[in-house]
Structure 1
Amino acid sequence: MKFTVLGSGAGLPSKDRNTQSFVIDCVLEYNEYILIDAGEALQHRILHTHIKPSKIKNIFITHLHGDHIFGLPGFLSSRAFQGGEGIPLTIYGPAGLREWLDLTFKISESTLNYPLEIIEVEADMTIRLNDFTVRVLPLSHGIDSFAYIFKENDKIGELLTDKLLALGLKPGPVYGKIKASETFTVEGKEYQTADFIGETIYGRKIAVHGDTRLNSKEDYLNQLFNADLIVHEATFLKDEKEKAHDYFHSEINQVLNMFSELNYKQLLFVHISSRYTDEDIREVSAALNDKAAIAFDYFELPIPRNVQ
């Protein structure tokens, strides 16, 4: 599994940063990509990757500002001609998303050749998707904006086959039966299956935010605890805390301070304003801790499974 940034910029695109779009690559696990937000020119960005539109089967929209959705109608139409025929697609997003897409397709006389389901989300909603539980968290942004927390189910550890072989049990269907049971018996002696199972494989957690002011509420921070990846906006990079608050956005140092006591593996900053130069970004990046980074377009981050 890996996280790919197709667009890392804020409201106005620049020559180097497209507006916001991300992909969670689950092809090896579930044979699909999960798209989060659909900035303008999304379909053009995908052309520079190995991503197949037909394998994007679920889309999550954080909020309905144009820099997060203007690429959606074009992508949906293109998918119909890029192997997507007959392959269902589900879009999750705030109220109003269905009306906007229905009107867009009606006026443009566009049709799709695959089933499209639009599910309008609400705060604290829970969505089941593959082996993920997706939690919808409300944010503060003037219009409805959400964070999506993708939590993969934990998996039982692998059988310790060397220990089973030592008991005289050769590989075969019996191994599956043992793994599915609490106890098993060999030559009249009972054994606890847990003693023959390796360490639990803990599910990965990825938290992707829409645009937002800071949220320091304890229940919100608890949802992010132990995240493998937190993706958070940093529209402002230069200590403009008051301006960030006034515009319903976040400033990078405030975010770092808010998460300073939070246990996570990687913090990725996105939604970077086009007014910052490369030199500005290099200067800010140099001061970040080793768990934080400012994203760029086509940035990729592998997210391995956790064994503890």
Structure 2
Amino acid sequence: MEIQFLGTGAGQPSKQRNVASLALKLLDELNEIWLFDVGEATQHQILRTNIRLRKVTKIFVSHNHGDHIFGLPGLLATRSFQGDVGPITIYGPAGLEQYVRTALKVSKTKVSYPIKFIELTGDALIYKGQGFKVYTKKLDHRVASYGFRVEEESRPGELLVDKLAQYHIPNGPIYGKLKAGEKVELEDGNIIDGKDFLGPERPGRIVSIIYDTRSTPAIAELSKNADVLVHESTFGGNEAKLAYSYYHSTCVQAATVARDNGVGMLYLDHISARYLGNDAKKLERQAQKVFENTRLANDFDYMVIPMKGSEK
């Protein structure tokens, strides 16, 4: 599981930051990539990464402001040129489907694969399958805006090969059955239970993604015990009143959520174009005074999220 930031700016692109988009890479787990928001020129950003659009199977859109959706029709059109691609599912607020289908219709763009839209209407479990769940909650923005929580289901513990050595089992299908927790009859007639040879169950990872919003209790619920929290930080720590008036959050508010809810790592995202170079780093330093494990996200930054208990 990896996160790669494709655009970390707010409102409008700058020379340092494109507008909002990030990729959750689940290549080892599902051979899929999920996108969260698709701001203008996201597909251009993707050209500078190893992401292949054919691997993108789901797109989650927080809200319908232009800096979060203007790149979507173009990206969907380009995906048609990636060979034999499968269907794609887009989760987003009311009006998103109309926007996309109108853009494709007016531009006479033919998409070679099925597009399924799932409309977000409130707090809900919006996806469950393949060992993952995705939850959403409504945030507090000028328009309907949603935060996301991606939960990976727990995984069986590692097979304790040393403990099995006494049975002299050759490599092959038997190991697979034991790792799946099944009972196996050996050649000598002994029956062993795979559950007796598994290490502790490994908890799944949690990623929470919070785009445009004022401070609201829903954020804490989405962020609880997340391994990684990506949180909008459009304003500096001393601009809480200004952030509130514009329906946004400060870096310190993001850090407070992380500190109070057992978050592992906080990434500050959706940075105003007013903050360039060292000014942007000030946001990181302000947040780190509240929650030390904070990083300022930049375009093309990526991080690997290891399984709990594995080497980092």
TM-score by length of 2: 0.90
Q: 1:201: how far off?
A: 2.0
Please state whether the residue corresponding to 2:280 is helix, strand or coil. Answer: helix
The answer for the alignment partner of 2:41 in structure 1 is 41
Equivalent in the alignment of 1:121: 120
1:6–1:23 contact (8 Å) kept in structure 2: yes
**Kept after mapping to 2: 8 A contact 1:216/1:258:** no
Q: Does 1:198 align with 2:199?
A: yes
After TM superposition, give the deviation of residue 181 of structure 1 in Å. 4.5
Greater alpha carbon shift after TM alignment, 176-185 vs 267-276 = 176-185
Most deviating of 178-187 and 70-79: 178-187
List aligned pairs for 1:134-149, cutoff 5 A. 134-149=134-149
Identical positions, percent: 38
What letter matches 2:261 in structure 1?
L
Tell me the distance in 2 between the aligned counterparts of 1:87 and 1:185.
41
Structure 2 partner of 1:156: 156
After TM superposition, give the deviation of residue 179 of structure 1 in Å. Answer: 4.0
In 1, Cα distance between equivalents of 2:254 and 2:85: 43
CA contact (8 A) 1:122 1:136 kept: no
Which of 297, 300, 306 is 1:304 aligned to?
306
Give the AA of the match of 1:19.
V
Distance change in 2, residues 1:84/1:228 (3 Å) = farther
| 1:209 alignment counterpart | 210
Count of aligned residue pairs for this structure pair: 305
- Change beyond 3 A, Cα 1:276–1:174: closer
CA contact (8 A) 2:91 2:118 kept: yes
Give, in whole Å, the separation in 1 of the partners of 2:83 and 2:63.
25
Q: Which residue of 2 aligns with 1:280?
A: 279
Distance in 1 of aligned mates of 2:181 and 2:35: 38
C-alpha displacement of 1:148: 1.2
SS in 1 for 2:217: coil
Q: Per-residue deviation at 1:254?
A: 2.1
Instruction: Identify the residue that residue 294 of structure 2 maps to in structure 1.
Output: 292
CA contact (8 A) 1:53 1:84 kept: no
Is 1:8 matched up with 2:8? yes
CA distance in structure 1 between the aligned counterparts of 2:240 and 2:143, rounded to whole angstroms? 20
Q: Which amino acid aligns with 2:132?
A: F
Whole-angstrom CA distance in 2 between matches of 1:92 and 1:153? 21
Question: Which string of whole-angstrom CA distances, capped at 9 and with x for unpartnered residues, describes residues 25-78 of structure 1?
Answer: 112221121111001111111111111111111111111000000000111111
Once the two structures are overlaid, the 10-residue window that deviates more, 228-237 or 168-177, is 168-177
What SS class does the counterpart of residue 299 from structure 2 fall into?
coil
Name the aligned partner's letter for residue 149 of structure 1: R
Cα distance, 1:222 vs structure 2: 4.1
- Residue in 1 that maps onto 2:245: 246
Deviation string, structure 1 residues 90-112 (Cα, Å, up to 9, x no partner): 11111111111121122221111
Partners of 1:176 and 1:28 lie apart in 2 by: 18
Q: Does the 8 Å CA contact 2:223/2:257 hold for their aligned counterparts?
A: no
Separation (CA, whole Å) in 1 of partners of 2:257 and 2:2: 25
| CA apart distance, 1:141 | 0.5
C-alpha contact 2:35 2:58 (8 A) present in aligned 1: yes
Query: SS where residue 128 of structure 2 aligns?
Result: strand
Displacement of 1:185 after TM fit?
7.5
Tell me which amino acid in the other structure corresponds to 1:199: P
Could you tell me which amino acid in structure 2 is paired with residue 280 of structure 1?
D
Distance of 2:47 and 2:183 partners within structure 1:
52
- Per-residue deviation, residues 95-146 of structure 1 (Å, max 9, x unmatched): 1111111211222211111111111122222112432100011111021111
- CA change 1:181–1:301 in 2 (3 A) is closer
Secondary structure of the corresponding residue to residue 300 of structure 2: coil
Structure-2 residue corresponding to 1:102: 101
Tell me the equivalent position of 2:25: 25
What letter is aligned with 1:48?
Answer: R
Q: Which segments of 5 or more consecutive residues in structure 2 lack a partner in the other structure?
A: none
Q: How does 1:34-73 map to 2 (within 5 A)?
A: 34-73=34-73
Distance across 2 between alignment mates of 1:20 and 1:223:
20
> 1:84: how far off?
4.5
Residues 26 and 33 in structure 1, CA contact (< 8 A), matched pair in contact too: yes
Instruction: State whether residues 61 and 69 of structure 2, in contact with CA within 8 Å, keep that contact through their aligned partners in structure 1.
Output: yes
Unaligned runs of 5+ in 1: none
2:111 matches 1:112: yes
Q: For the residues of structure 1 that align with 2:181 and 2:232, how far apart are their CA atoms?
A: 46
Q: Structure 1-normalised TM-score?
A: 0.91
